[in-house]
Structure 1
Amino acid sequence: MTTEDNAAVAKYDELNKNLEKVEELSQRLVEVMSNHNPVRRELTAPNHDVFTNAATAYWSEMIENPTKVFEQQMEFWGKSVKHFVDAQQMLAQGKLEAPEDNTPTDRRFSNPLWQTNPYFNFIKQQYMMNAEAIRKSVETIEDLPQKERARLKYFSNQIVDMMAPTNFLGTNPDALEKAMETEGRSLIAGLENLIRDLEANNGELIVKLADESAFELGKNVATTPGKVVFRNRMMELLQYSPSTEEVHEIPLVIFPPWINKFYILDLKEKNSLIKWLVDQGYTVFVVSWVNPDRSFADVGIEDYIEDGYLTAISEVKKLTKQKQVNAVGYCIAGTTLNLTLALMKKRGDKSVKSATFFTTLTDFSDQGEFTPFLQNDFVDGIEAEAAEHGLLRSFIMQRTMSFLRSNDLIYGPAIRSYMLGETPPAFDLLYWNGDGSGLPGKMVVDYLRRLCQDNQFVNDGIELCGETLHISDVTVPICAVTCETDHIARWKDCYRGFQQTKSRNRTFIVSQSGHIAGIVNPPSKKKYGHYTNKDLKLDSEEWLEKAEFTEGTWWPRWDTWLSSSSGKMVPAREPGDSEHPPLEDAPGSYVKVLATR
């Protein structure tokens, strides 16, 4: 045998050995899955009525307008048959080439083999045809309520995305090439990654998005110097050390969302909003929420308001010896800040001088992409989950949010980890994304039922803390920062609620990019710009059409607005005082607690 022959045999033997290891790992996979306690069905699939109603509407359409239905079917059948014939003709001519391909560009199919190899190209083109046929069928179904149509569209798209040929080893050229190049080692590494993720989550498949070993809170993320100056069962209050000799008289307290952790605003020094604010001469306080366990089952929105917002504001006033603070609320924390301001108005409490809202919804009349998850069958499932476990476990919320961008946050990472055997990237944003928090049972049910489903805050008012609170009770100077491509809190929905406040001093900003990148957008990046328009009586379309666009981040514009409500300059304040001795260094202890599985 030649040297090349010996090398080929050795490579083949190595491949077979690695494939034997795959069989061993498969036994571990079976073992972990045998102990899997699946999430209740209501949280993984829609009520059968969604598809039953769609099938009924489609059947009615066929009876009443058979021509349109048959035209759709004939178009699909015609394209499929022609595609098959074209491929056969190429082979009959002795050409190992793909037929003409006019399918749209899709980054999932970036490997050249999807274009040049007749096998892969045939599969790709047929998948594209199937996907188009499904979407057209859904779009043309009549006699379905709008919410049912939105749900059907969402779940049919999930099926389309799941069935992409890139998601299967035998039809993914990247994975097959990698397996051959590595003599099967990539398959072993991928299976090990899969088993690792399953074992870490009691058999529940949650794709790890980042290399967790690359990050340590307080070391290379959440590093802005500060102290924990107060703690109760709901939160730790962090006060950051000054970096200027003088600071604005009125302090700033930031309320981050408790769905995730506060350090999205303090990932790294170069993109930390917290550090930037400190450097602008503000005394910055941040609430770090508790990561609840089952003992928090009876904690509701009222507890977040009383023991979180009102307590934090009170302690900040004591620490700085000021009668007022400026406040910031991000996402759900912005929604609750609106509730708190309405309550303070009822009580005659003027402790908040101005409020800023990041990506904040208050009017839920249009539920947008969350429509599938805000119907009774899904919320019933969450209520049952909360009753059984005392909370909505973090991974359920994380998975739900990920499916809104399934190709980017589920299938793409799964392919890289499980098929290609790659280690997740050391990406701080993805690390934060996976470091979630649970939601107390009572709070999440109240939020979904009373705010999202019933839209009480902008309708007849919501009963909380002994008062009836309404969006019109918000009268302090306010600024809202929203994001143009935000799919979680769409800017037009944020605008609709913002318009219903009764504040005389109102500023509304639309930043380019999405829910995170549009907010965490430091001046040094010179990246996403923003839109402003003082005429808040316009509808959203006209507001944006007539808005002024400014290159770069909104941070300096907000600084100008905020500083006008922040009083004179005074000597810088170190964290804590005699009544609030520092308990520990920032970022504190609560942020390091992992979510209950």
Structure 2
Amino acid sequence: MSQNLGENFQLPDPGEFSRNMVKIAAKSQELVTEFLERQQARGDSASDPLNIGGAFLEMTTKMMADPSRIFEAQFGLWTSYLELWQQTANRMLGGEAEAVAEPAKGDKRFRNPEWDENQIFDFIKQSYLLTARWMQNTVNNVEGLDEKTAKKVDFYTRQFVDAMAPTNFVMTNPEVLKATLESNGENLVKGLDNLLGDLDRGTGKLNIKMTDMEAFRIGENVAVTEGKVIYQNELMQLLQYAPRTEKVYRKPLLIVPPWINKFYILDLRADNSFIRWAADQGYTVFVISWVNPDTALAERSFADYMKGGILAALDAIEEAIGEKEVTAIGYCIGGTLMATTLAYLAATEQKRITACTFFAAQVDFSEPGELSVFIDEEQIRAIEEQMKEQGYLDASAMASTFNMLRANDLIWSFVVNNYLLGKDPFPFDLLFWNADATRMPKELHSYYLRNMYQKNLLSKPGALEIEGVPIDLGKIRIPIYLQASKEDHIAPYTSVFRATGLYSGPVRFMLAGSGHIAGVINPPSAKKYQHWINDSRKKYATAEEWLADATEKPGSWWEDWDRWLSRKSGPKVPARIPGEGGLKAIEDAPGSYVKVR
């Protein structure tokens, strides 16, 4: 067991170490100078477009109105520190000592054994945990804040707390400190080169490299399920996948992914591809591959994406294989568009989609989860200002927002690995996909943020109109399968569940383990996670009530979905070959739109 820093933290070559420190100092000075010049050129060094400062000022004002609570919180922190000092002293004298503060289950930051075995690092870890929890509890207990301000303060406090973790600094991270001493600081020199490379890639903004982007090639080792592009317009390509069974269900399956990401999250590898697995079950699978929009598409609207996306795909499918009726899946934002389209079809008495599945899709945004901190008036105006000049929201801006929801996993772990340890990130297909984000057209994105997230109009009958048609989800009477994930921070399962009270037809709600991605992409062969089902015909007011009566099942939910959809997909017919029907093949899947960055 380590008793002090000296045993495991040795400096092999002081001269080489000093030379590397000089290199780091020189490069750092250049970096800071360039950063300040960029800030001055942009003229935004002192701006606060998201009104974060205003939220914290309001919080401070409310807090100062009750000094006794401040004293009480401070006294509690001092008491915890005193207990920690006592326990650490006992341990240094050879006694046993129970931890005053321990990391939450699943906190990967403190996995290195030195955090527990070395008294100094154990003290640093526990001091941080005590302070972090005190800060968050203190801001959470401030009375008199409106709900939106309270959520904003809590979110950005957590961002600060995560940023200040001892794992993020050389001298307080045992793994980094040991690597620095053993390599005479070469890890920091390499890490600074990595940082400069990320800044250069982001043209002055930090664009953290999360994986080896050269290790993956779309259509070669990701998105490789066989198929053809059989239709395209300015907004999307429609892919028809090759059959994998001799007979297929008569009704084809149309998948509508979110336009904020590339569709191949559903087709990463052969062993976890939902598209391939669905084809294996006997479905004729069609998938929309959205365009990565540029300035020319700035004014394309939500209605345009409905017409040029889902409705155009339905027409193309009918022309290609002669089937007017299909089943469908809408994923995330694609599910919001799908629900709107179903209401539009119902209002106009068009029977085109006869059963529909939703993956992690919200239609009632009264519980939007942590994304709510980004959708107040100040922040929407800031986003609209960003989109004004180019006509779209840059992909990196949206990616940064989602990364902040899981900052320790998607930001700070890479800061430690890439910049402090000086390592290259591992090749990981999921992170390759995550980095391959898409732009958002100005008109479409503003409409979505204001009408869905901010005003929650889709859940209110007739509050939205598409092409002059009032949108009422209550007119949707087809069978619905709702998938949600228990740990989803983007589409919380409590929010997804609210749709069960909006549709008029039969709804099957299913709750999967894990989060927004892994909760969906979980093939049966993986034997991972779990899911919950509830076959009661009882109407539940909340997701919590539903879960209390639900049955937990091991592994993937895909087979439950297949049992549900297969009964709604018609009889088996001979398999259809892409490009041999009414529409000829344009190019091989995954198509060219998905390769545009």
- TM-score w.r.t. the length of structure 1 is 0.91
Contact map agreement 1:530 1:553 (CA 8 A) in 2: yes
Match of 1:544 in 2: 547
Distance (Å, rounded) in 1 between the aligned partners of 2:343 and 2:354: 13
How many Å apart are 1:212 and its aligned residue?
A: 0.8
Query: Could you say if the C-alpha distance between residues 581 and 121 of structure 1 is closer, same or farther in structure 2, counting changes exceeding 3 Å?
Result: same
- 1:464 is matched with 466
1:58 partner letter: M
Cα deviations by residue, 1:208-230 (Å, 9 ceiling, x for unpaired): 21111111111111010111111
Distance 2:43 2:438 in 1: 17
Task: Check if 1:560 corresponds to 2:558.
Answer: no
Q: Secondary structure at the match of 1:582?
A: coil
Secondary structure of 1:317 counterpart: helix
Contact in 2 for aligned 1:43/1:381 (Cα 8 Å): no
2:7 aligned partner: none
Q: Kindly indicate whether the alpha-carbon contact (under 8 Å) linking 1:364 and 1:451 is maintained by their aligned counterparts in 2.
A: yes
Are 1:478 and 2:485 an aligned pair? no
Say whether the 8 Å CA contact 1:42–1:378 is kept in structure 2.
no
For residue 586 of structure 2, the aligned residue among 583, 588, 597 is 583
C-alpha separation in 2, matches of 1:39 and 1:230: 46
Q: Which moved more, 1:108-117 or 1:149-158?
A: 108-117
1:325-364 alignment runs, 5 A limit: 325-364=326-365
How far apart, CA to CA, are the structure 2 residues paired with 1:447 and 1:77?
47
Residue 127 (structure 1) aligns with: 128
Cα distance between partner residues in 2 of 1:326 and 1:43: 47
Question: What secondary structure sits across from 2:210 in the alignment?
Answer: coil
Distance in 1 (CA, whole Å) between partners of 2:503 and 2:322 is 30
Q: How does 1:121-200 map to 2 (within 5 A)?
A: 121-200=122-201
Structure 1 stretches (4+) deviating beyond 6 angstroms? 36-44, 95-100
The whole-number CA distance in structure 1 between the counterparts of 2:173 and 2:42 is 29
Gap change, CA 1:213 and 1:317, over 3 Å in 2? same
The residue type paired with residue 575 of structure 1 is P
Amino acid paired to 1:220: N
Paired position in structure 2 for 1:54: 59
- Residue type of the alignment partner of 1:350: K
Whole-angstrom CA distance in 1 between matches of 2:204 and 2:85: 41
Counterpart position of 1:427 = 428
2:106 is the alignment partner of 1:103:
no
Amino acid at match of 1:564: R
Q: CA deviation at 1:47?
A: 3.8
> Unpaired segments of 5 or more residues in structure 1?
1-7
> Does residue 1:492 correspond to 2:497, yes or no?
no
Alpha-carbon shift at residue 579 of structure 1 (Å)? 4.8
SS at 2:239 equivalent: strand
What is aligned with 2:14?
12
CA drift of 1:58 comes to 0.8
Which shows bigger deviation, 187-196 or 105-114?
A: 105-114
Does the residue aligned with 1:271 lie in a helix, a strand or coil? coil
Structure 1 residues 195, 9: CA separation in 2 closer, same or farther (over 3 Å shift)? closer
Following superposition, the deviation at residue 45 of structure 1 comes to 4.7
1:59 deviates by 1.6
Structure 1 581/12 Cα, relative in aligned 2: closer, same or farther at 3 Å? same
Match of 1:3 in 2: none
Question: More deviation in 21-30 or 184-193?
Answer: 21-30
- Secondary structure of the 2:66 match is helix
Asked if structure 1 preserves the Cα contact closer than 8 Å seen for 2:80 and 2:100, the reply is no
* Coordinate RMSD, CA, aligned: 2.5
- Give 1:422 deviation, angstroms: 1.1
1:304-334 residue CA offsets vs partner (Å, 9 max, x unmatched): 1010110011101111101211111000000
2:301 maps to: 300
In the alignment, is the contact (CA less than 8 A) between 2:83 and 2:100 conserved in 1? no
Taking the aligned partners of 2:161 and 2:70, their CA distance within structure 1 comes to: 20
Q: How does 1:16-95 map to 2 (within 5 A)?
A: 16-23=18-25, 25-26=27-28, 29-30=31-32, 33=35, 34-35=37-38, 45-62=50-67, 66=68, 68-80=69-81, 83=84
**Paired residue for 1:207?**
208
- After superposition, the Cα gap between the structure-2 partners of 1:75 and 1:340, relative to the gap in structure 1 and judged at 3 Å, is same
Residue 162 of structure 2 contacts residue 408 of structure 2 at CA under 8 Å; is this kept in 1?
A: yes
Question: Residue 459 of structure 1: CA displacement?
Answer: 1.9
Would the alpha carbon gap of residues 486 and 82 (structure 1) be closer, same or farther in structure 2, given more than 3 Å must change? closer
TM-score by length of 2: 0.91
Structure 1 position 24, deviation (Å): 5.4
Q: CA deviation at 1:192?
A: 1.3
Deviations 1:83-109 (A, max 9, x none): 56877x689x9x699987422135423
Give, in angstroms, the shift of residue 292 of structure 1. 0.8
Give the 3-state SS of the residue equivalent to 1:269 in structure 2.
coil
Partners in 2 of 1:58 and 1:510 — Cα distance? Answer: 39
Residue 10 of structure 1, CA deviation: 8.4
Distance 1:447 1:20, change over 3 A: same
Distance 1:43 1:352, change over 3 A: farther
Looking at structure 2, the residues matched to 309 and 257 of structure 1 have their Cα atoms a distance apart, in angstroms, of 12
CA contact (8 A) 2:14 2:184 kept: yes
Rounded to whole Å, the distance in 1 between the matches of 2:131 and 2:155 is 16
For residue 433 of structure 1, report the CA deviation from its aligned partner: 0.8
* Separation in 1, partners of 2:98, 2:572: 70
Q: 2:12 touches 2:181 (CA, 8 Å); kept in 1?
A: no
Alpha-carbon distance between aligned partners in 1 of 2:97 and 2:324, rounded to the nearest angstrom: 74
Q: Is the 8 A contact 2:218 2:595 kept in 1?
A: yes
Distance in 2, matches of 1:144 and 1:276, equals 49
Which residue of structure 1 lines up, in the alignment, with residue 3 of structure 2?
Answer: none
Report what 1:593 is aligned to. Answer: 596
Cα displacement (A) at 1:167: 1.2
Partner of 2:572: 569
Deviation at 1:415, TM superposition (A): 0.6
Higher mean alpha-carbon deviation, 409-418 vs 160-169, is at 160-169
One-letter amino acid of the structure 2 residue matched with residue 569 of structure 1: K
Distance in 1, Cα, partners of 2:468 & 2:141: 48
Indicate conservation of the 8 Å contact 1:99/1:118, yes or no. no
Quick check: 2:215–2:427 contact (8 Å CA) kept in 1? yes
**Rounded Cα–Cα distance in structure 2 between residues aligned with 1:44 and 1:498:** 37
Structure 2 unaligned segments of length 5 or more: list them: 1-9
| Residue 221 in structure 1 maps to residue 222 in structure 2 | yes
Count, aligned residues? 579
Alignment CA distance shift 1:10-1:138 (3 Å): closer
> C-alpha distance in 1, partners of 2:460/2:97?
58
Which amino acid in 2 is paired with 1:590?
A: Y
Bigger drift between 566-575 and 117-126 goes to 117-126
Residue by residue over 1:114-165, the C-alpha shift from the partner in whole angstroms, topping out at 9 and shown as x without a partner, is: 3454543443333223212212211221111222222211111111111112
Kept in 1: contact 2:21–2:185 (CA 8 A) = yes
Superposition deviation, residue 20 in structure 1: 4.2
